[in-house]
């Protein structure tokens, strides 16, 4: 299966999206632009199906082929089963004070809640059951995954609430999702991940042990990637409220070293647990996040198809 590249879709300036006050309208604008780009792509016709079918992959059970659809499109599609079409998806959104930082026209939390709203809108169109959990140093809002009239609005209201907490406790939301969601599903966490990596490792491992697929969108401001401080300054820690004196030359070197090491450890943790980690800078087009999700799903589908093919091959070899 071939998928259009991000270059095939015209970018919408995220600053223009943020000027839209209504969160649902923001999400709709991003998703419709994404779909419109797919339709205009030179690879149109070979992209992902978003409803009751998925493209045939070598090793799939031929009994699932839809021959009527093949006659219409000259392409092979597999009918999805109920557990494929109606999965539980949870959006876990960091609303700690550090997410309120922004060196550009909007903050990380504005970008993050717009990402979450975009996913909620997109997944609802796919007929998935979507839920939301927000957190800071404690659990904020928890809305169970459902698919019914008014549910999207309820999630967007929860995502729109102003920041109130200070610190970040990433342990509580991951444990709550793992304990409350019995059926295997998809967990999408949106956070700056300013947390110890060992805490993250322990709780991601628990979540993965329950069979959940996990995608993390690490949301960062441009100034957090390229640290700039022109003169000695007093800076405010947004989570503790403590003022800190920083010398630009010393601080920049220490920051870049520690940031690079923390980023490396995050990648190691996620890679070892089979968690998809994507770093999103708040200047990037919002539809990029949809590509990250679809690419993750494609890799998972290909892996499952290969595993199924190997299993069938092993069974055939054992009976020959």
pLDDT at 50: 39
Distance CA 308, CA 55 (A): 16
Query: Which whole-number Å values give the CA distances from 121 to 18, 30, 124, 155, 159, in the listed order?
Result: 16, 10, 5, 10, 13
pLDDT at 4: 45
pLDDT at 317: 54
Written as six digits, the tokens of 122 are: 């997109």
Q: Write out pLDDT tens, residues 219-248.
A: 999 999 987 766 666 676 666 667 877 777
Q: Are 98 and 192 in contact (CB under 8 A)?
A: yes
Q: Are 243 and 236 in contact (CB under 8 A)?
A: yes
Bridge-partner residues for 230, per DSSP? Answer: none
Q: Write out pLDDT tens, residues 266-277.
A: 999 999 999 999
pLDDT at 10: 54
pLDDT at 112: 97
Query: Which whole-number Å values give the CA distances from 139 to 143, 169, 175, 205, 273, in the listed order?
Result: 11, 9, 11, 20, 24
Bridge-partner residues for 190, per DSSP? Answer: 93, 217
Which alpha helices (DSSP H) does 141-228 contain, by range?
A: 151-160, 171-180, 197-209, 222-225
**Residue 207 Rama label (left phi>0; alpha psi -120 to 50; beta):** alpha
Tens digit of pLDDT at every position of the chain (320 positions):
334 455 545 578 999 999 999 999 999 999 888 877 654 544 333 333 334 556 666 666 666 677 777 777 777 776 654 444 467 899 999 999 899 999 999 999 999 999 999 999 999 888 889 999 999 888 899 999 998 889 999 999 999 998 876 777 888 888 888 887 777 889 999 999 998 999 899 999 999 998 899 999 999 999 999 877 666 666 766 666 678 777 777 778 888 899 999 999 999 999 999 999 999 999 999 988 888 777 766 666 555 545 444 444 444 554 44
């Amino acid at each position: 299966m071939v998928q259009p590249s991000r270059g095939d879709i015209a970018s919408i300036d995220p600053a223009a999206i943020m000027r839209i006050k209504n969160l649902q309208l923001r999400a709709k604008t991003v998703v419709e632009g994404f779909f419109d780009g797919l339709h205009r792509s030179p690879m149109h016709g070979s992209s992902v199906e978003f409803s009751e079918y998925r493209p045939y992959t070598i090793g799939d059970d031929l009994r699932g082929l839809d021959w009527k659809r093949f006659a219409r499109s000259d392409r092979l599609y597999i009918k999805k089963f109920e557990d494929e079409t109606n999965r539980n998806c949870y959006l876990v959104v960091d609303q700690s004070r550090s997410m309120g930082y922004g060196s550009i026209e909007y903050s990380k939390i504005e970008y993050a809640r717009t990402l979450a709203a975009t996913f909620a809108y997109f997944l609802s169109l796919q007929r998935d059951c979507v839920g939301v959990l927000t957190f800071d140093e404690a659990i904020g809002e928890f809305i169970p995954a459902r698919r019914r009239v008014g549910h999207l609005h309820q999630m967007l209201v929860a995502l729109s609430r102003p920041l109130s907490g200070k610190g970040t406790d990433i342990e509580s939301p991951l444990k709550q999702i793992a304990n409350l969601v019995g059926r295997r599903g998809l967990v999408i966490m949106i956070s700056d991940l300013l947390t110890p990596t060992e805490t993250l490792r322990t709780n991601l491992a628990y979540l993965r042990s329950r069979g959940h697929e996990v995608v993390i969108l690490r949301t960062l401001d441009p100034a957090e990637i390229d640290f700039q401080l022109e003169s000695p300054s007093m800076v405010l820690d947004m989570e503790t409220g403590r003022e800190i004196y920083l010398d630009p030359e010393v601080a920049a070197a220490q920051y870049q070293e520690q940031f690079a090491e923390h980023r490396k450890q995050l990648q190691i943790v996620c890679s070892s647990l089979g968690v998809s980690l994507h770093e999103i800078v708040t200047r990037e087009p919002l539809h990029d996040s949809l590509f990250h999700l679809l690419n993750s799903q494609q890799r998972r589908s290909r892996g499952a198809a290969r595993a199924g093919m190997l299993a069938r091959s092993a069974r055939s070899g054992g009976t020959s």
